[in-house]
Amino acid sequence: MSRQVIHTENAPAAIGTYSQAILVGNTLYLSGQIGLDPYSMELVEGIEAQIRRVFDNLKAVCEAAGGSLADIAKLNIFLTDLSHFQLVNQIMGEYFAQPYPARAALGVSSLPKGALVEMDGVVIINQ
């Protein structure tokens, strides 16, 4: 199967040796997104703003591949402070409806650029 690079200007540009996402067949592999504004490439301030920005970035990449957040089958969440887990749940409820994706949430010591949250995932595009 061929691999297709997915890129959108509506999510932060890859700042390393990776792509925003890779589509293989109907499976989309999302690279990790932090709370970078895609236009300024600056980290937004505060945990709530970063969580929302991450979901908006993931949404933009899913849409660039012909999908949506509703197509995410597995979501991985990385938090530098697990006390923010309830806030992630609350905001996630604004972006997703049942059936929710499978999910893991992990506490990590640090993230790129000093981000407070990062998310990646696997999406099944219904073509």
Task: Summarize pLDDT for 72-118 with one digit per residue, the tens.
Answer: 999 999 999 999 999 999 999 999 999 999 999 999 999 999 999 99
Per-chain mean pLDDT for the chain? 97
Q: Quick one: pLDDT at residue 1?
A: 73
Tokens found for residue 96: 């997703």
In the CATH hierarchy, which fold is given to the domain comprising 3-124? 60s Ribosomal Protein L30; Chain: A; (3.30.1330)
Which residues is 24 bridged to in the sheet? Answer: 3, 27
Give per-residue pLDDT as tens, 52-78. Answer: 999 999 999 999 999 999 999 999 999
pTM attached to this predicted model: 0.96
Residue-range domain boundaries for the chain: 3-124
**Phi, then psi, of 113 in degrees rounded to 5:** 60, 15
Residue of 1, 17, 6 lying closest to 121 (CA atoms) = 6
